[in-house]
Structure 1
């Protein structure tokens, strides 16, 4: 699941632009729900902290 979420987190801003980035959009692309993402990653981090660093894992 983590890989699917990471892919969705990379794809959304690439297609829609960073201002349109949302946790809801990532959840929809990953075919999961926002509560699943919130349980896995805190609101403060919103998505895994390594998204945007060019790596696929911490």
Structure 2
């Protein structure tokens, strides 16, 4: 399904510089910004080589 190179890139640790943090209701959350996730998907799978689906919106 995934090439060897794609598997290697997907298994690589996240660059902590790209992880953002926010506090809400006395809890701390870490997240990746959407633009960064899209850029990484394009880098790993190629432009138009992936898709996404919204399952639930709260």
TM over 0.5: no
TM-score (ref. length: structure 1): 0.33
TM-score (norm 2): 0.33
Where relative contact order (Cα < 8 A, 6+ residues apart) is larger, the structure is 1
**The structure with more strand, counted as a fraction of residues:** 2
